[in-house]
Chains A and B, each alone.
Chain A
Amino acid sequence: MIQERVSLSKARQQWIRWQRLLRAQRPGDLFFRGITLLFVLIVLGLVAGTAWILISNSLPTIRRFGFSFLTNKAFDPVHDSYGVLPAIFGTLITSAFALIFAVPLGVGASIFLVDFCPRPLRLVLAFLIDLLAAIPSVIYGLWGFLVLAPWLHNNGEPWLQQHLGFLPLFQGQPEGVGYLGAGIILTMMVLPLIISVSREVMLVTPVAQREALLALGATRWEVIRHAVLPFARVGILGGVILALGRALGETMAVTMIVGNQANEPSLSLFTPGYTLASVIANQFGEATPGLFLSAIIEAGLILFIITLITNILARWLIASLQRQAQGRSRGGRL
């Protein structure tokens, strides 16, 4: 009883506090707060609506195939048997390829831009790189299809096979189109994103930190290693997440060069393959209502979930990095 009354009075106190807060605010503020809240709710509603549409429209295949949709190799409308294993594999392998190459390249390039590049040149280079980020993906795709794929087929892939053919990555018949080509195109597409973001965060490293290290006799590399990179780490990771998002969902450019063939997942980068986005782009136009359409929408749902999971993991990584950094600064270490 007493407890109840205490909690009641607590709630009452809370209520009074709210009332006071509301009274203290002028109607204009209240109105503005309401409007902005509405905008947030609209955005949340859109995401929730997307998820709901994806789930409700893919129910036929979810019921029919369950988890085998994730492990079945064939996407076969003729026999009404659907699976997206090759597409999931292709989405992950091409995005991973892109990040493995784009992150070191991008961070390295932004270190040059921030620390070594003469100022006038930096402005020009930064402008050009931002321009690269604005090129529509279909143009990357055309370049990939008309220039990169023939070159890979005739020169690039045979060369790799000749010199590095002992690696399983470079075995199989060179086709030009395939995971290698898609990975290269994705690398090119996410590189400007990573460079732009890392450059911005490196530029705001406190000068005092740099100068302190220089005063201790540190080399340029040591300044970057111990002052700039730890400071910019979280920001760079943010750029990488943006890049990953783009790589996972990229549709047009990848469709034009990935080979669009549901092959068994294999380590060979020469294999023509599929990604979830390209399955949707290819099949949606001719999909007929029923299991076929449902399967395509479930492919979209899986892409949605993969994007969600990678984003959550990345947030968690950033949070833990930040905590680590705070802990370190409290401990008095550099």
Chain B
Amino acid sequence: MTQFTPSPSHRGRLQLRYLSALLLLGLLALLAACGNNSNSSGGTTTGSNSNTCPSTKQLTGAGSTFDNPLFSKMFQEYPKVNCGINVNYQAVGSGAGINNLLQHIVDFGATDAPMTTDQLNKSTSGPILHIPITIGAVAISYNLSGVSQLKLTGPILAAIYQGKITSWDDPQIKAINSGVNLPHKNITVVHRSDGSGTTSIFTHYLSAISPDWQSKVGAGTTVNWPTGVGAKGSSGVAGQIKNTDGAIGYVELTYVLANNIPYAQLQNAAGKFVAPSLDSAKADAESFTSIPADLRFYIVNGSGDNAYPITGFSWVVVYQNQSNSDKGQALARLLWWMVHDGQQYAQPLNYVPLPDTIVSKDEAQIKAIRCGSSACYSGS
């Protein structure tokens, strides 16, 4: 049966191969073991424990992509002024950030839509606090050849996104744009295809404006769009609008300002037509005098004269009861810095700085974070 007798050199080579195969398997096993180890040994920290600095040198967060440019800048500056504490932030999306917090993978989450009651109930470590960290606005962008100035109202916007107004020369649009030569052209409605805080703010605005929208479509990071085409990300929506004559879409203000994209003026609750800007978004946030204490609140359609109505918070979410008090102290210090000194980095990056009314509410939230029997934040 065996006519083949291996020569010594051949046999040697065979053995070599077995050896290498074994080595490979061993290596794989080792890798798997290492993977497990690194997961379990994340909590231990070493380092000098001075009087003022917590010994924790590393905090992790995950969530909103909208926050990412601002957070990158903040977390680049923070270690320089505060005990060298590094913050590792992963922009995985608001929903994933919430999931990571619920699974205790990160120390804080960041989200453009407040957690739902359902999500809060999934917490296995007690209550979760919402801390507004910056403010975002959503601009209505369009592409209409020959039209450089466009005014819209909330009800018209809702009708366009429901497919009830389908042409640019619709009498309702003409009525508020006197002097503008609106062409007879189909409106291509563009929306986000991926789940997004931008969508959440926009659909909460439409729900606030139009009862019909609220009952049929509703608001959330993803909705069942009655009409239009979906594009992925802010760049996708902006690209789709740029590509299509007759398109309209919603894009977050930071992206619009950074890329010089045309946007429409929108009628606010006071009846004024307002362009989206950092100032008008801040005016909207300031016009809310009574906000629920848990700060899970949409600040759309504010009452001020200069308020731009499609505006919303972006929140950091943390557990109220921190199990590791040293880490809890580090976290509370970080959050305190973010809502105070950290706000100086907002404006240059086209983010809206928090108005004082919100900062004082944030302070109360941060002071409510508990490390065992005392508050995590020790300053004033």
The stretch that binds A, out of B38-46, B125-133, B237-245, B262-270, is B237-245
Collect the chain A residues with CB atoms within 8 Å of residue B96's CB. 285-286
Are A285 and B14 neighbours in the complex by a CB distance under 8 Å? no
Using a CB-CB cutoff of 8 Å, which residues 111-161 of chain A contact chain B? 145-146, 149-150, 153-154
How far is the CB of B216 from the nearest CB of chain A, in Å? 10
What's the least CB distance linking A105 to chain B, in Å? 27
The reply to whether A78 and B195 form a contact with Cβ atoms under 8 Å apart is no
Q: Does B228 contact A (CB under 8 A)?
A: yes
Instruction: Give every chain B residue within 8 A of A282 (Cβ-Cβ).
Output: 193-195, 230, 232
Listed stretches A46-54, A195-203, A257-265; interface member: A257-265
- Known pairs A272-B230, A286-B95; A176 contacts B244 (CB<8 A): yes
A261 and B14 contact, Cβ closer than 8 Å, known pairs A77-B222, A177-B240, A287-B95:
no
C-alpha gap A149/B92 in the complex (Å)? 28
Interface residues of A in 250-290 (CB under 8 A from B): 255-256, 259-262, 272, 278, 281-283, 285-290
Q: Judging by beta carbons under 8 Å apart, are A285 and B230 in contact? A: no
Contact residue among B188, B195, B225, B227 (Cβ-Cβ distance under 8 Å from A287): B195
Report which of A259, A261, A285 forms a contact with B93, defined as CB distance below 8 A. A285
CB of B317 closer than 8 Å to a CB of A: no
Q: Does B21 contact A (CB under 8 A)?
A: yes
Task: Report Cα–Cα, A231/B116, bound state, in Å.
Answer: 62
* Inter-chain contacts of A285 with B (CB < 8 A): 92-93, 95-96, 194-195
Does A333 have its Cβ within 8 Å of any Cβ on chain B? no
Contacting pair A289 B222 (CB below 8 A): no
Closest Cβ of chain A to B98, distance in Å, is 7
CA distance A255 to B236 in the complex (A): 11
- Docked pose: A150 CA to B245 CA in angstroms: 9
Q: Is A74 an interface residue (CB 8 A)?
A: yes
Q: Is B369 an interface position by the 8 A CB rule?
A: no
Residues in chain B near residue A79, CB distance under 8 A: 218, 224
Give the CA-CA distance A173 to B189 in the complex, in Å.
12
Chain A interface category by residue count: 35 or more
A165 to chain B, nearest CB (A): 16
Q: Is the CB of A78 within 8 A of B230?
A: no
CA distance A88 to B263 in the complex (A): 36
Knowing A77-B223, A285-B194, say if A153 contacts B244 (CB, 8 Å): yes
Number of B residues near A (Cβ < 8 Å) is: 43
**Contacting pair A77 B220 (CB below 8 A):** yes
Evaluate whether A261 and B222 lie within 8 angstroms (CB atoms) in the complex, with A145-B239, A153-B243, A289-B102 already known: no
Q: Using a CB-CB cutoff of 8 Å, which residues 143-199 of chain A contact chain B?
A: 145-146, 149-150, 153-154, 173, 175-178
Is there a chain B Cβ closer than 8 Å to A35's Cβ? yes
Tell me which residues across on chain B come within 8 A of A176, comparing CB atoms.
Answer: 243-244
Known contacts: A283-B222, A286-B196. The answer to whether A272 contacts B232 by CB under 8 A is no
- Residues in B with CB closer than 8 Å to A178 are 229
Nearest Cβ on chain B to A279's Cβ, whole angstroms: 9
CA distance A150 to B225 in the complex (A): 22
Is A24 an interface residue, CB under 8 A from the partner?
yes
A290 CA / B95 CA spacing, docked (Å): 12
How far does the alpha carbon of A285 sit from the alpha carbon of B229 in the complex, in Å?
19
Minimal beta-carbon separation of B286 from chain A (angstroms): 29
Distance in angstroms from A171 CB to nearest chain B CB is 14
Contacts A256-B236, A283-B194; A288 near B243 (Cβ below 8 A) = no
Q: Which B8-58 residues have C-beta < 8 A from chain A?
A: 14, 18, 21
Distance of A272 Cα from B230 Cα, bound (Å): 8
Contacts of B21 in A (CB 8 A): 35
A28: contacting residue among B14, B122, B243, CB under 8 A: B14
A222 at the interface (CB under 8 A from B): no
Which residues A278-319 have CB closer than 8 A to chain B? 278, 281-283, 285-290
Contacts of A146 in B (CB 8 A): 239, 243
Q: Which of B204-257 contact A (CB under 8 A)?
A: 217-225, 227-232, 236, 239-240, 243-245
**Closest residue to B94 on the A side, CB-wise?**
A286
For residue B99, which residues in chain A have a CB less than 8 angstroms away from its CB?
A: 288-289
Q: Report the bound CA distance from A149 to B240 in whole Å.
A: 9
A78 to B225, CA, bound (A): 11
Is there an interface contact between B220 and A78, defined as CB atoms closer than 8 Å?
A: yes
A28-B14, A146-B243 are contacts. A288–B230 as well, Cβ < 8 Å? no
Contact partners of B222 in chain A: CB under 8 A: 77-78, 283, 286
Nearest CB on A from B144, distance (A): 15
Is the Cβ of A286 less than 8 Å from the Cβ of B194? Answer: yes
- Complex CA gap A285/B193 in Å reads 11
Kindly supply a per-residue 1/0 record for chain A positions 196-235, scoring 1 wherever the CB is within 8 Å of any chain B CB and 0 otherwise.
0000000000000000000000000000000000000000
Q: How far is the CA of A287 from the CA of B220 in the complex (A)?
A: 11
Whether the Cβ atoms of A78 and B14 lie closer than 8 Å is no
Q: Is the CB of B341 closer than 8 A to any CB of chain A?
A: no
Which of chain B's residues has its CB closest to A285's CB?
Answer: B93
Complex contacts, A288 vs chain B, CB 8 Å: 95, 98-99, 116, 118-119
Pick the contact of B243: A31, A74, A150, A272 (CB < 8 A). A150
Contacts of B116 in A (CB 8 A): 288
Q: Return the chain B residue nearest A287 by Cβ.
A: B95
Cβ contacts under 8 Å, B196 to chain A: 286
Q: Report chain A residues within 8 Å CB of B92.
A: 285
Are A24 and B1 in contact (CB-based, < 8 A)? yes
Complex Cα distance, B229 from A75, in Å, reads 15
Q: Does B186 belong to the interface (CB within 8 Å)?
A: yes
Given contact pairs A78-B217, A78-B219, A286-B95, A150 touches B244 in the complex (Cβ within 8 A): yes
Contact of A255 with B93 in the complex, beta carbons under 8 Å:
no
Nearest Cβ on chain A to B350's Cβ, whole angstroms: 23
Q: Once the chains bind, are B221 and A286 in contact (CB under 8 Å)?
A: yes
Chain A residues within 8 Å of B194, by CB: 281-283, 285-286
CB within 8 Å for A260 and B219 given contacts A176-B244, A285-B195, A286-B95: no
In angstroms, how far is the closest chain A Cβ from the Cβ of B156?
A: 20
Contact of B230 among A77, A150, A261, A289 (CB under 8 A): A261
Instruction: Indicate if the CB atoms of B193 and A260 lie closer than 8 Å.
Output: yes
16 A–B contacts from the bound complex (CB under 8 Å): A74-B224, A77-B195, A78-B223, A177-B229, A260-B230, A260-B231, A261-B227, A261-B228, A261-B229, A262-B224, A262-B225, A278-B193, A281-B232, A285-B92, A285-B96, A288-B99
Additional pairs, 4, CB under 8 Å, beyond known A78-B217, A256-B236: A78-B218, A260-B231, A288-B99, A289-B99
